[in-house]
Amino acid sequence: MSHPTYPHLLEPITLGAGPDALTLRNRVVMGSMHTGLEDHPWDIGRLSEFFAERARGGVGLIITGGYAPTKRGWLKPFASEMTNRLHAMRHERVTGTVHEAGGAIALQVLHAGRYGYHPLSQSASDKKSPITPFKPSAMSTKDVDHTATAFAKSVALARKAGYDAVEIMGSEGYLINQFLASRTNDRDDQWGGSAARRMHFPVEVVRRSRELVGDDFPIVYRISLLDLVEGGQTWEEIAELALHLQAAGVTVFNTGIGWHEARVPTIITQVPRGAWRSYTARLKQVVDVPVCASNRINTPELAEEILAAGEADLVSMARPLLADPAFVAKAMDERADEINTCIACNQACLDHVFANQRASCLVNPRACHETELVLVPTMRKQAVAVVGAGPAGLAAATSAAERGFAVTLFEKSTELGGQFRLAMAVPGKEDFADTLRYFTRRLEVLGVDVRLGVEASTDDLAGFDQVIVATGVVPRMPAIPGIDHASVASYADVLSGRVVPGKRVAVIGAGGIGVDVSVWLTHTDEDLDDWMAHWGVGDPALTAGGLTEAKPRTPAREVTLIQRKTTPIGIGLGKTSGWAHRAVLKQSKVTQVRGATYDRIDDDGVHITVDGSSHVIECDTVVVCAGQDSVRGLYDALSPLVEQGEGRAGVETKVHLIGGADVAAELDAKRAIKQGTEVVAAL
């Protein structure tokens, strides 16, 4: 019987035929994502548990992070590879654990080509990528032949290791893409020259893989539907490639959008949900085998909608499964409102990986730490008070209730969320509302006693065993002469709607919030077509790579963004998203001033000195985004009581300080949620 709410998403599908055919229990694919756990043999247990938790959560097919078919295909020095029997034997632990948990898993084979962050990298040519410091060496004709065979051997080893399928990574600008595009392939041997010859390498990879693993073993090929780089493929080439690959033995097409070096954001929050679905629908018209949609799909509703519309046969979600391992189980049980939705921030996943750290998740700090950050059910039901319902307090309250403590959450305002509520007002950060929906629902389900509009006093807290103080921060108002001028407002005033700014605005402070506020101030409503036009996304049938001239934005206000530092504005933002935020500032014609000293604020505007010269930034409103100060009054008041051992009769109250109330400097939701969870895990 089909599921009443998600009949398409939760319907089984069989990939391939014959004895190796793979029947998936539903259409949800956990897309490949490098977590950093792939790279070290000693992490194999952690990696297995990471996947097993997702398998228990009901996902149809898991795809691992990328494993190189040769050392020269590494993502970074000594990165993951699948090149010998020892590797295959080690992976039996992964496949065994996932199978025991009821799941199916595919290994992704990925050759980084010129994206390899090491001096041994190779590519179709010696053209350096704009995002890596290493110039690749151009592969010889023999190298290419050897690499196509190495791909096939990795595929065969994956089968030996017990994987249910493989995915060949042919998108995001990695080696296979580098062979396909004239941008990177200027060869004149059989592996380059014409478009047909550029296709030869991926087709050989699939053909040789099929030859080694027989007719039935499922081979997923991730195809780039839109390169979003100059000199990328045309739609005609992509469609022709798909047909050749299908003939060579591809079982399923997964899809990818944009090379890593593309200057169009493809997966971060500001990309509209489901932005790329029409491209998958287009591929589905071309091929006969199943097609999997991917990129910026993060709810079961949207996934169901895409499948129901016949645009795809499966839906791949990578980060949403990092955020909530039980995504599928919750959808199945009609508990979608309990899903911890990925907010596409990249802050703890891709930003970590690009900084050579283990991936995790901003909204789920247990991701990739399943064996280390464990919320063990408590043996002693202590009374826990959490004061403050920002991200730190919400994480602490829900984690404590999950462990079985009796939890009371006090919040001074009448709404949950603290600073996070302000963030979701920023254009392109609407998804952040889902995190508050998640926490609100979790508090309900877990039976937390939530007291909104209550500023907890020391008396209110006297009877608790544990008090977790998460009283947060207030916007800092720097001591600039004239800071109390009528034109001055804090970012909180503006984002909450308490103050409506005028047409000309000066923003003081260009950290994450200064940039966000500048985007908010200049933003005008845009639909998907406008968004595509502003980023110069066109039709690959008309221009190679799908790029066209970007349509200029008409900013809603004239904004000047000021900082004291002389470094480029926005340089400290997330590695994988900061560039896009900086691009929006430019598109929105925000004037950027660095190296400023604030002299005063008066009726004329903000007086500053830059390089010894005085300037006035004429404006109607000054918005201060100069960081935050901790709110610690309650903690300071509680400390003497703790020292005196007051609390429930005979029980000493233990007080913990977390979140912005603990450290305001550069506090973000990632650190807050992690700290809130960790403090409770240690109770």
What is the set of active-site residues? 174
First to last CA, the chain: 45
Structure tokens at 468: 């977790």
Decide which of ligand NAP, ligand SF4, none touches 600; Cβ closer than 5 to 8 Å per partner kind: none
Is there binding between residue 434 and ligand NAP (CB under 6 A)? Answer: no
Contact criterion met (CB below 8 Å) for 566 and 597 = no
- Tell me how far, at minimum, the Cβ of 429 lies from ligand NAP, in Å: 8
Report what 512 binds from ligand SF4, ligand NAP, none; CB cut-off 5-8 Å by kind.
ligand NAP
Residue 501-540 contact track with ligand NAP, rule CB under 6 A, x = bound? -------xx-xxxx-x------------------------
Segments in 523-627 forming alpha helices (H): 528-535, 578-587
Residue placing its CB nearer to ligand NAP in the complex, 386 or 508: 508
Query: Tell me, what amino acid is at 297?
Result: I
Q: How far is CA 607 from the centre of its chain?
A: 40
Q: Pick the closer one to ligand NAP by CB: 581 or 607.
A: 581
Is residue 674 a contact point for ligand SF4 (CB under 6 A)? no
- Can residue 119 be called a binding residue for ligand NAP (CB under 6 A)? no
Work out whether 48 is an interface residue with ligand SF4 (CB under 6 A): no
- Token pair of 362 as six digits: 């901003």
Q: Which two tokens stand for residue 242?
A: 């798909």
Q: Is 363 in the site for ligand SF4 (CB under 6 A)?
A: yes
Select the residue interacting with ligand SF4 from 82, 348, 407, 673 (CB under 6 A).
348
C-beta closer to ligand NAP: residue 258 or 659 = 659
Q: Whole-angstrom Cα distance, residue 534 to residue 166?
A: 37
Q: Which does 193 bind (CB under 5 to 8 A by kind): ligand NAP, ligand SF4, none?
A: none
Write out the two tokens for 480. 């600039």
Q: Which does 344 bind (CB under 5 to 8 A by kind): ligand SF4, ligand NAP, none?
A: ligand SF4
Tokens 């980084």 label which residue? 112
Look at residue 361 and give the partner it binds from ligand NAP, ligand SF4, none, a contact being a CB closer than 5 to 8 Å depending on partner kind.
ligand SF4
Check residue 492 for interaction with ligand NAP (CB under 6 A).
no
* Binders in 604-633 for ligand SF4, by CB under 6 A: none
CB nearer to ligand SF4: pick between 344 and 507: 344
Residue 86: which residues within 8 A CB-CB, separation 6 or more? none
Cα separation, 481 vs 598, whole angstroms: 8
DSSP secondary structure letter of residue 234: -
Q: Does 481 help bind ligand NAP (rule: CB under 6 A)?
A: no
Nearest CA to 594 out of 611, 577, 613, 617 is that of 611
Other CB atoms within 10 Å distance of the CB of residue 267: 22
Please identify, using beta-carbon distances, which residue of 106 and 631 lies nearer to ligand NAP: 631
Task: Give 358's contacts (C-beta < 8 A, 6+ positions apart).
Answer: 35, 36, 37, 352, 368, 369
Tally the residues of the chain: 683
- Smallest gap, in angstroms, from Cβ of residue 518 to ligand SF4? 22
Distance of alpha carbon 659 from alpha carbon 7, whole angstroms: 42
Structure tokens at 508: 């003081």
Comparing CA positions, the residue from 341, 337, 299, 336 lying closest to residue 324 is 341
| Position among 223, 323, 336, 532 found at the interface with ligand SF4 (CB under 6 A) | 323
Q: Give yes or no for residue 30 binding ligand SF4 (CB under 6 A).
A: no
Chain centroid offset of residue 386 CA: 29
Per rule CB under 6 A, count of chain residues that contact ligand NAP: 22
> Is residue 113 near ligand NAP by the rule CB under 6 A?
no
CB 254 within 8 A of CB 57: no
Give the up-direction half-sphere exposure of residue 502: CA atoms within 13 A in the CB hemisphere.
13
- Judged by CB under 6 A, the chain residues 602 through 631 that form the site for ligand NAP are 625-628
- DSSP annotation string for 53-92: HHHHTT-SEEEEEEEBSSGGG-SSTT--B--SHHHHHHHH
Residue type, 316: S
Q: Indicate the residue among 577 and 592 with the shorter CB distance to ligand SF4.
A: 577
72 near ligand SF4, judged by CB under 6 A: no
The half-sphere exposure of 595 on its side-chain side, counting CA atoms within 13 A, is 8
Among 398, 518, 563, 592, binds ligand NAP (CB under 6 A): 563
Closest approach of Cβ 78 to ligand SF4, in Å?
25
Nearer to ligand SF4 by C-beta: 46 or 429?
A: 429
- Interface residue with ligand SF4 among 147, 266, 347, 490 (CB under 6 A) is 347
Minimum distance of ligand SF4 from residue 631's CB (angstroms): 26
Helices (H), 191-234: 195-198, 200-213
Q: What are phi and psi of 601, to 5 degrees?
A: -125, 130
Closest to ligand NAP by CB, 157 vs 508, is: 508
Give least dist CB 476 to ligand NAP, A.
Answer: 6
Segment 359-418, which members bind ligand NAP (CB under 6 A)?
none
**Which secondary structure element, helix H or strand E, spans residue 675, and what is its range?**
helix 669-681
Smaller CB distance to ligand NAP: residue 204 or 516?
A: 516
Contact letters for ligand NAP, residues 568-587 (x by CB under 6 A): -----xx------x------
Q: Residue 349, interface with ligand SF4 (CB under 6 A)? A: yes
How many whole angstroms separate alpha carbon 26 and alpha carbon 316?
11
- The encoded tokens of residue 252 equal 């399923």
Cα 463 from Cα 299, distance rounded (Å): 41
Find which of ligand SF4, ligand NAP, none residue 564 binds, CB within 5 to 8 Å per kind.
ligand NAP
Compute the least distance from the CB of residue 573 to ligand SF4, in Å: 14
Distance CA 562, CA 433 (A): 29
C-alpha span between 203 and 235 (Å, rounded): 17
Segment contacting ligand SF4 (CB under 6 A): 139-147, 155-163, 360-368, 485-493?
Answer: 360-368
- The least distance separating ligand SF4 from the CB of residue 431, rounded to whole angstroms, comes to 9
For ligand NAP, the closer CB: 524 or 597: 597
Of residues 282 through 321, those in contact with ligand SF4 by CB under 6 A are 319
- Residues near ligand SF4 (CB under 6 A) are 319, 322-323, 342-349, 361-363
Sites of contact with ligand NAP (CB under 6 A) = 476, 478, 508-509, 511-514, 516, 563-565, 573-574, 581, 625-628, 666-668
